[in-house]
Structure 1
Amino acid sequence: MPAPRFPDSPAFTGFNAPMRVEADLMDVECVQGEVPAHLDGTYYRVVADHQWPPLLGDDIKFNGDGMVMSMRFRDGHVDFKSRYVRTPRFVAQAKARRALFGAYRNPFTDDPSVAGLRRGLANTNVFWHAGKLYAAKEDSPPVRIDPDTLETLGEDTFEGALTSETCTAHPKFDPRTGEMVFFGYAAKGETTPDLAYYEADAKGRIVHETWLTAPYASMVHDFAVTQNFVVFPVIPLVSSKERLEAGEPHFAWDPSKDVYLGVLPRKGRARDVRWYRASNRFASHIMGAWDDGRHLHVDTPVSESSYFPFFPDLSGAPYDPDRTKGFLSRWTVDTQAPPDSGFTQTRLTDVAGEFPRMDDRFETLPYHWGVMAAYEVPGEQRPGGGFRWVAAVDHRTGATTTHYAGDHASVAEPLFVPAHDDAAEGEGYVLAVVGRLTENRSDLLILDARDVSAPPVATLRFPLRIPYGLHGNWLSAAELAHRAD
């Protein structure tokens, strides 16, 4: 068998080249400022990194193996660790010393030797609930990870109570009850329109399950949860078995379809769902959501067309970057109005961006502070492309404050960390991993959340690249002390 050779394509060269290294690094170098000594906890992230050259010759990053990373903060020091998630897929390919799984979420393209084996990658998010750390991707159950060693502990189906074949990588957490609210789409298998909605109590036991049928099969990547409602955004990034059998990409943008918001009371049943319909548009991640008992508000970046250039447009239209610009907007639903009344949309900022986050202590509740990665700021022309700014939004004043990460930089999802246990909303720090594309390595910026435009509180320099990644979360030392056995 020949040694691995990756394709000479943009997805596998330069800064995008697979890392393929599991690392341990004590005391990441601090090259500017000082790491706040009172920060005591761990920033967990997960990235997508192909361990083997793609089976079909080229691939997209979404199809990369999950690698969990930890940045442990203690007494002004930061230690770094990274480990691949040993999913069933990863283990099978490591044994074969080659890729066995084909195109993104298309089992028809796999090597026959892995027929029926779980294809999950655990490469989208890493989160904590009931003393357990999970790595997750929305096509399979989450995978438990040891929070100290990052060792893979195995898939978790909540003691068999997870009946869906899939589980979101974007669960929501109710700060008043400690419940985790989550769901699975394509819950009966790839390209099915089924949604399974769950709530788990503070001890991790599933206490509610409801199954719904969406208006059509699509990517339901994120959803919104408030004190009284859950909201399932069905956006026309559609899927079909026929496309998979033809070897075409799993998802495609359908500009002829409308958007639906499936609104369901918390712990409601299928008979209670109401589908509020509006014209075609694209959205992916939720910054925050809340309700006043009647009116429901969901904040999300919205664009005219799909953000993803590797998923085709069913109309045949070419990819148009101007139409994919996402602007943070507020969707408002009158839950006492008939579904055919739709919902309203109000733009909240003229900064284009994605990966929105909030002060997670206010999830499901009214909030005013949020942050996101930005790729266009009015009046600023900078070298390079992609996400180069961190943008903080104050919904009380409408002001957006930005921090420019540098020329030819790549800003990952920013994350909020409270300054202390009793910190006010938005009082704390923003952590942002930044790729230095021309230097082929990465930094970690620590910004003052109340003034992200100021010079960083600290800049940590990694001697290596941190690969393309999506999401992560902060766990305080106090939370980690309550880990489950």
Structure 2
Amino acid sequence: MAQFPDTPNYTGFNTPSRIEADIANLQHTGEIPPELDGAFFRVQPDPQFPPRLGDDISFNGDGMITRFHFHDGQCDFRQRWAQTDKWKLENEAGKALFGAYRNPLTDDESVKGKIRGTANTNAWLYGGKLWALKEDSPALVMDPATMETVGYEKFGGKMTGETFTAHPKLDPDSGNMVAIGYAASGMHTDDVTYYEISPEGELVREEWFKVPYYCMMHDFAITPDYLVLHIVPSIGSWEQLEEGKPAFMFDTTKPVYLGIIPRREGLKNDDIRWFKRDNCFASHTMNAWQDGTKIHFVTPESKNNFFPFFPDIHGAPFNPQESVTHLTEWVVDLSSNGDEFAEINRLSDTFSEFPRIDDRFTGRKNRYTWGLEIDMARPLNLPGGSASGAPMNCLFLKDMETGKEQHWWAGETSTLQEPCFIPRSKDAPEGDGWIVMVCNRLAEHRSDLLVFDALDIEKGPVATINVPIRLRFGLHGNFARSQDIGLKVPEAA
């Protein structure tokens, strides 16, 4: 019998779901924009079996991909496992074989040396394929129309690194997908790979470089000429794993770096400019752009560690007050002779994370950004526990040009998952379109998908789509037009 631990990670709203389903024409209130034609894919960590060693963090669940297909003013639902090597081996055994999060020392002997990736962090659409991503392994490719798993992508053997990012970027000029892979030559190594993939799915560039120290490099940014990579000390080592400690721990004594890495063939370590600043925490990126010799990079920054489950390496208790993240601009000047930052500017007093933009402006100065906000001043009641660990109870929109902000509150017993922007058309002005996002209805143990006019979020959702099953805490997701991924209107419709 599958018996999951009686802990917050596996009970209440966080109870494993493990449901594959097809549901046509979901019930909704309001109006789904009839011109909305495409699919929003998102992923949730959802363990197939109880963890091998008892309790584990949510980040170690198997990838379950959800697709919301919009057409003709309606929305259809499909959900499937990302069938990684790990999923297949455990499915055949009927139990968990892989151990603690990012700790191969805790695996069953029968799976030693196997790919441990869970494909549970991002659902990304590119080149007519669905990429199910986890940054400790190659990318898993799926068919976006059938949602059947194809397998790990190594680009015909051209990819020599072991890992592929969970946060690729689409270069709007070249049309290439830009990616990195950290710990590229093995766990805890300081080797990183830089990849570019053509729309036809060919690996057209793989360059190797070194970073100042190994850490979690969860996200990055690009400009037309550079890959922009922040090095923040959520660090790990074999010693940590051997001692049974978490895979990542935060070190407040280490400096933070921003790497400006030329996007060209024949990259050498000496080509990289590493700028250094005092310790802080930053994970996700909003965007980056060039302004003459200056590089602007925007990220939610906090004074100290944001993740309580990756504790302080020196034993300090988690500090909630210092974990508060604010959109912050880091500016470095390539014409300078030193390694100091030119500017560090806080852009908002709003506590926010999971920043998203109109992705057509990747690498260019964008005007609008959306994100999840934690507003502790609002009434808050979390029956069954928070779906995300942090009570992200508001949708946040910032106009970077005027400074104006909008905020929409989900309600006393609801929290939100990452927003995704959908342009009204390929050539619509920046921000002209919709925001879609999952809302966790904690009191009813169910989920809604919300659709907003992207630049008028304060009026609330224009459509609320009821999902008859509970969606667990999800991480990242993206949208693709039906014609780009082979989706047709179901015949039954």
Residue number in structure 1 paired with 2:150: 153
Range 124-133 or range 199-208, more displaced: 199-208
- The aligned amino acid for 1:450 is L
Residue number in structure 1 paired with 2:399: 394
- Structure 2 residue corresponding to 1:172, chosen from 169, 173, 182: 169
Residue number in structure 2 paired with 1:23: 21
Residue number in structure 2 paired with 1:127: 124
Residue number in structure 2 paired with 1:62: 59
Q: Secondary structure at the match of 2:349?
A: strand
Mapped to 2, the partners of 1:13 and 1:382 lie a distance apart of: 19
Q: Secondary structure at the match of 1:37?
A: coil
- Structure 1 residue corresponding to 2:457, chosen from 424, 431, 452: 452
- The aligned amino acid for 1:201 is S
1:225-236 equivalences in 2 (<5 Å): 225-236=222-233
Contact 2:228 2:288 in 1 (8 A): no
TM-score, reference length from structure 2: 0.95
Contact 2:145 2:487 in 1 (8 A): no
1:75-114 equivalences in 2 (<5 Å): 75-114=72-111
Residue number in structure 1 paired with 2:276: 277
- Structure 2 residue corresponding to 1:479, chosen from 481, 484, 491: 484
Residue number in structure 2 paired with 1:261: 258
Deviation at 1:87, TM superposition (A): 0.5
Deviation at 1:380, TM superposition (A): 4.3
**Aligned CA distance change for structure 1 residues 219 and 339 (closer, same or farther; 3 Å):** farther
Q: Secondary structure at the match of 1:340?
A: coil
Contact 1:277 1:343 in 2 (8 A): no
User: Within the alignment, does 1:138 sit opposite 2:138 as a pair?
Assistant: no
Residue number in structure 2 paired with 1:373: 372
Mapped to 1, the partners of 2:429 and 2:133 lie a distance apart of: 30
Q: Secondary structure at the match of 1:351?
A: coil
Residue number in structure 2 paired with 1:181: 178
Residue number in structure 1 paired with 2:297: 298
- Segments of structure 2 that go 5 or more residues without pairing to the other structure are 383-389, 489-493
Deviation at 1:421, TM superposition (A): 2.7
- The aligned amino acid for 1:345 is I
Deviation at 1:383, TM superposition (A): 4.3
Contact 2:331 2:341 in 1 (8 A): no
Contact 1:108 1:247 in 2 (8 A): no
- Structure 2 residue corresponding to 1:403, chosen from 393, 400, 408: 408
Residue number in structure 1 paired with 2:10: 12
Mapped to 2, the partners of 1:79 and 1:112 lie a distance apart of: 42
Q: Secondary structure at the match of 1:453?
A: helix
- The aligned amino acid for 2:480 is L
User: Within the alignment, does 1:251 sit opposite 2:248 as a pair?
Assistant: yes
**Percentage identity across paired residues of the two chains:** 45
Residue number in structure 2 paired with 1:426: 431
Mapped to 1, the partners of 2:269 and 2:177 lie a distance apart of: 20
- The aligned amino acid for 1:451 is D
- The aligned amino acid for 1:63 is N
- The aligned amino acid for 1:203 is E
Residue number in structure 1 paired with 2:341: 342
**Aligned CA distance change for structure 1 residues 132 and 269 (closer, same or farther; 3 Å):** farther
Contact 1:196 1:209 in 2 (8 A): yes
Contact 1:444 1:460 in 2 (8 A): yes
Contact 1:170 1:182 in 2 (8 A): yes
User: Within the alignment, does 1:214 sit opposite 2:219 as a pair?
Assistant: no
- Segments of structure 1 that go 5 or more residues without pairing to the other structure are none
- The aligned amino acid for 1:22 is E
Q: Secondary structure at the match of 1:464?
A: coil
RMSD, aligned α-carbons: 1.4
**Aligned CA distance change for structure 1 residues 414 and 481 (closer, same or farther; 3 Å):** same
Mapped to 1, the partners of 2:210 and 2:263 lie a distance apart of: 17
Mapped to 2, the partners of 1:338 and 1:250 lie a distance apart of: 36
Deviation at 1:429, TM superposition (A): 0.6
TM-score, reference length from structure 1: 0.96
Contact 1:305 1:323 in 2 (8 A): yes
Mapped to 1, the partners of 2:343 and 2:208 lie a distance apart of: 27
Contact 2:144 2:486 in 1 (8 A): no
- The aligned amino acid for 1:387 is M
